Amino acid sequence: MEQLRETLKGHHLRTTTCREDVLSAFINKKNALSHGDLEGALGENYDRVTIYRTLKTFLEKGIIHKVLDDEGMRYALCSNNCSEEKHQHDHIHFKCNACGETNCLENLHIPAVQLPQGYKPENFNLLIQGTCPKCNN
């Protein structure tokens, strides 16, 4: 519980039960979550708009980042390098075709891409699909 409060305080956010519960869901699950996942887990306590606003705030403050997979938008915890000014998430995401979990592979970075003249990249997203170690056994 103290870790949750310290994380929120470190990102200049007021502590609320919703923020604590959403952050706790990310920490406990350890993989990318969709708005629907959070709504399913926390929907008895918070409406969908409150959860959406919490996700939006966490994105803006550098607590979570967007993960695009074949089912839509998911969110994952940022590493300690992210802040309100700069998201540092140039890593690969892996979606397991067996269990459906999407995970950040923090130690694998997206390879450099040389874009044609006139194109300016703003975001990178690389999703690899296959079978995760849990499902391989």
Report which secondary-structure segment, H or E, holds 125.
none
Does residue 69 contact residue 32 with C-beta atoms inside 8 Å? yes
Residue ranges of the annotated binding site are: 96, 99, 132, 135
φ, ψ of residue 124 in degrees (nearest 5): -125, 140
Task: With CA atoms as reference, report the closest residue to 15 among 48, 57, 52, 43.
Answer: 57
Does residue 75 contact residue 33 with C-beta atoms inside 8 Å? yes
Residue ranges of the annotated binding site for Zn(2+) are: 96, 99, 132, 135
